[in-house]
A and B are shown apart, each in its own frame.
Chain A
Amino acid sequence: MLLDYSSGFHYLLALAPEVVLSVAGMVVLLAGVTGKREGGPGHELGWLSLAGLAAAAVANGWLYAGVAEDGATAMIAVDRFRLFANWIFLLGAAFAVVVSLDYVARQKLQAGEYYSLILFAVVGMMFMASARDLMIVFLGLELMSIGVYALAAFNRRDRRSAEAGLKYFLLGAFASGFLLFGIALVYGATGSTNIHDVAVAVQEGTAARGLLLPGVALLAAGFAFKVSAVPFHMWTPDVYQGAPTPVTAFMAASVKSAAFVAFLRVFLVGLGDVSSEWGPILWWLSAATMVAGNLIAVVQSNVKRMLAYSSIAHGGYLLVALVAGNDTAAGGLLFYLLVYTVMNVGAFAVLIVAGNQSERGSRIEDFGGFGWRNPVLGVFMTIFLLSLAGFPGTGGFMAKLFLLQGAVEARLWVLSVILVLTTVVSYWYYLRVAWYMWMKDAPEGTAPARLAVPIAAHAVLLIAAGLVLLTGVFPGAPLELAMGAVEGLVEVVAGR
C-alpha cells in the first residue's frame, strides 16, 4: 500500500514497529508495577518483552513486504535501509533480553523498569534508523541514550555500575550537546533540518559553507562519541566494564549499530556532497580507532574489558565503510552490523553464564581450563572469538571481506592495509582467551563452581553460533538483503 502523510493515521502505519514496541514497553512497565509486590524473578516480564520485540519484528516485516511512501519528504523514512536496520536492533535486543532473564532474577533488579527501558531504548534506535530529519535523529538518540544511561547504572548495589552510569551520562550528555550544536549550525547553513533538503542545499551550493563545516565537524564529534571512535573512546572501557553484563552486551551490539546507521544516513545522504571535507576527518578517526583499539586490547587481562576495546576496534573497521561511502561499503556495513551484533552478544552471553549470572569470573585467568570443564560453552565461546577475530569460515570473516571490498572500490589502499594488519593483531587477544580455555588449567587454589546454564541462554548461544557459521559459509541471502537495503539510499546519493 502507498502511504500518504496527509492522513494522520498513515503516520501510525509508517511507524508501526515503533508504535508496537512503545506500547509493549508501557505494558511491561505497568505489568511490573502491578505484579506481586515483593516480586518473583520477573521472568514473565522478560517473556512479555520478547513477545513485544517479536510483534515489532512482524510489523517491521509487514512494512518491508510492501508498503511504500508517497514521495520522500516526510520526517520518517519508509525504506529498506531503515527496516533492515530495525531487524538488527530487534535481534540484538531479543538476545539481550533472553540473556538478562536469569541475571535480573539473580541480581534482584527491578524487572519491570529494566525490560521496559530496554524496549524504549530500542524504540529510540529505530527512530534513529528511520530519521529523515535531524530533529528525529537527535530525539531518537536521546531516547536511546537516556534508557541506556539508566541501564548502565541499574545495579544499585554495585558501585562500579553507578560509576559507569554516571560517567556515561555526563560524557554522553556532553556529546549530545556537540551533536545538537552541530545540527543547529547545519540548520543555520542550509535552512532546513530535513536530511534530504540539507542534501539539496549542499549540492546546489546555497548552503553557507562557513556555518556548514563547523556544523559537520560537531556532528562528526557527536557521532564519533556514540560509536566510541578514538579519541572519543575514553568512556567505553569503564562503562562497558562497570555496567551489568547483559546491558554491556546490549550497548556494544545494538547501541553502536544504531549510532552507525544514523551516522551513515546523515553523512552519506545529507552531507555526501561535502565528503571531501569530512572524508579526511573520518579517515583519521578510523585509522586511529583501528590501531589504538586493537593495541590496547592486546594488554587487557579482563575479558569484559578486552571485549570493550574489541568493540572500539570494530567501530574502527565500520568507519572504513563510511569513509568509502559507496554502496558496496554501505551494504557491507549493514551486513557487518548484523554479524557483529550476533557474535558480540554471543560472546557476552558466555561471559554471563561463566560468571554464574554475576559480575565475577571475567578475568582471563578464570577462563583457564574453562573449555574442558564446560565443553559446550567452550565451543560456543571459541566460535564467537574466532568470528570476532575474523577467521575464515565465520561471519566475522565475510563481514570484513565485504568492508574491504568497499574500501578497495573506493581506492582506500592505506586504510585497507591498516584494516588487515590490525585484524592480524586482533587474533592475538581473541585467541589468547581461547588458549586459556583449552590449553591452561584452572587457577590454583580455586574450586570452579559448576555452572547452571539456563535453557534460554543455551538457545541464544545456539542461534547466535548458528547465525555466525551460516553467515560465514553461506553469506548470500543476508548479504543480498543488506545490499538491497541500501539500494534506495544509493539512488539518493547517486541522483545528484
Chain B
Amino acid sequence: MTWILFILFSVVATGGAVGVVTGRNPVASLLFMVATLASVAGIYVLLEAHFLAAVQVIVYAGAIMVLFLFVIMLLNLGHDYQADVKYGLWFLLAFVVAGLTAGALTMGFSDAEATGFGDVAAGEAIDAAVLEKGAVGAIADPLFTDYVVAFELTGLLLLVAVVAAVALAKPRNRRGTDAG
C-alpha cells in the first residue's frame, strides 16, 4: 500500500515539476507547482513526518503559492509564454545534459545503496526524538539549539531580501531622484 502511494506521489511530483517548466501559461505552471508541493507533502506523510507535511501544505502549497497566484493575476502577467529557446540543437543539448546528470545520479544512488546508504541508525534516532519530544519538538529543539545560528541567519537573509526588493522597486520621489 505504502509503495503504491509512494509511486503515485512521486509520479505526480515529477510530472508536476515537468509541467512547471513546460507549461506555457504562468497560472498553469503555478498550479502544476502546487500539485508538486502537495505530492511532496504526501511523501513526507509516508515517511511519518506529519509535522513537516502539514507545514509543507500550509506554508508552501497554501500561503506562498496563493501569494504567487495573486501577484500574477493582479499584475495581469498571465500571458502565454514565448519560448526563448528556439533552436533544436539547444533542445538536444539540454536533453543530453539532463540525461547525463540523471545517469550519473542513478549510478550514484545505486553505488550509495551498495555501501550502506540510508542506514537505520539515523532513522531510529529520529523515532526516539519524536517519541520523547513529539513531532514539533523534534524539529523545534534542534532548530533553536544546534541550528540557532542558521536560523537567525535566515532571518537576516529575509530582511536583506526585503530591503533589496524595496530599494529597487519603490517609486521615485517628486524630484525624480532616488535619494531621501
Contact = CB atoms under 8 A, between A and B. Distances in A.
Interface in B107-123: 107-112, 115-117, 122
Contacts of A263: none
Interface string B93-119: 000000000001101111110011100
B133 interface: no
Nearest to A215: B108
Interface string B157-178: 1011101111110001111011
Contacts of A211: 108-109, 111-112, 117
Contact of A139 (B107, B110, B112, B153): B153
Given A109-B179, A150-B167, A188-B117, A75 B109 contact: no
A474 B87 CA distance: 58
B154 A139 contact: yes
B173 to A, nearest CB: 7
A275 interface: no
Contacts, number: 120
A156 B168 contact: yes
A37 B180 contact: yes
Contacts of B179: 38-42, 105, 108-111
Contacts of B109: 210-211
Contact of A136 (B150, B174, B175): B150
A466 B175 CA distance: 42
A245 B171 CA distance: 24
Given A37-B180, A153-B168, A214-B105, A127 B153 contact: yes
Contact of A208 (B108, B157, B177): B108
Given A39-B179, A211-B108, A165 B147 contact: no
Contacts of B166: 113
A111 B109 CA distance: 50
Contacts of A188: 112, 117
Contact of A210 (B111, B165, B177, B180): B111
A188 B159 CA distance: 30
Nearest to A147: B160
Interface string A161-194: 0000100000000000000000001001101000
Interface in A386-445: none
B157 A142 contact: yes
B160 A143 contact: yes
A182 to B, nearest CB: 12
A75 B164 contact: no
Best-surrounded residue of A40, A113, A208 (most CB of chain B within 10 A): A208
Interface residues of B, number: 38
A310 B104 CA distance: 36
Interface size, A (range): 35 or more
B55 interface: no
Interface stretch (A62-70, A116-124, A341-349, A354-362): A116-124
Contacts of A135: 147, 150
Given A139-B157, A150-B168, A208-B117, A38 B175 contact: yes
A193 to B, nearest CB: 9
A40 B179 CA distance: 8
B149 interface: yes
Contacts of A40: 179
Interface string B135-146: 000000000001
A272 to B, nearest CB: 20
A147 B174 CA distance: 26
A189 B166 CA distance: 40
Contact of B112 (A26, A76, A142, A189): A189
Contacts of B117: 188, 208, 211
A209 B110 CA distance: 11
16 contacts: A8-B148, A11-B148, A37-B180, A42-B179, A75-B147, A110-B178, A146-B161, A146-B164, A149-B164, A157-B178, A188-B117, A189-B112, A208-B111, A210-B108, A210-B111, A210-B112
Per CB-CB distance, the 7 closest pairs between chain A and chain B, nearest first, are: A210-B111, A150-B164, A39-B180, A208-B112, A210-B108, A113-B167, A108-B177
Interface of B: 104-105, 107-112, 115-117, 122, 146-150, 153-154, 156-157, 159-161, 163-168, 172-175, 177-180
